[in-house]
Structure 1
């Protein structure tokens, strides 16, 4: 693992950071730009349909980013032999944060799928109820956690 990292460290770190940017940055854009622009659509059916489509496209970028983030994290942890060092506590906290974020993402993904099924069946109230927690607290929670994880990553790189 060390040889892999030594030969491709710039690419591995770049992919790790890019994955975090796509995931956290994408959530910021969805929540603070797209969400508010969607409020100008008056037809609830169109608004719900667009929201579902936006989330579907977002997921197609975020799922590979989450996987790549995990792979690059494992490579760096093993290659840099962080276990047993003073920095390992930061690694553990970052792992915990990204795990919580992944669990929240899975909940978001499942709620979006339930909303899509309800929308496809013409049950717009259920679709709206499934999506409401995403903007209210799930995505904001993940944004906060993601920013904390990024700060911890910067701390790890700074040592």
Structure 2
């Protein structure tokens, strides 16, 4: 495992909020020169600490402002069932997050869609994909906090 120091932590924080900063800007902000800063970024990527660089899009401007959390329960707890269900979620752009859970709910999907009619269409496709014992949907009324930045203080 890669040893992470205070410079790496600062770089991770900065890159999680804005990857458009130049290496020289990042270097100045963390107190390094450009070459060592660039080497650190490359090492963070090589070691899988930084997994990719992306642009975050505005859901409202893309007409997918309705966020639905879909909980799924099933009586099928086998690799074939999960593989089929996972393949379905991979093919559906509306599913932006997919988790297997412990507790009373087996799976959680985060679905981004334009409106209730679009969700109904999605739901009808969903129930055709696998054997479910229960599906429940909760519609987000307000987004109070949203971030893609992970905490680095536990390193």
TM-score interval, normalised by the smaller of the two chains: under 0.3
TM norm structure 1: 0.23
Bigger share in helix: 1
TM norm structure 2: 0.23
Larger Rg: 2
Bigger share in strand: 2
Of structures 1 and 2, the one with the larger relative CO (CA 8 A, separation 6+) is 1
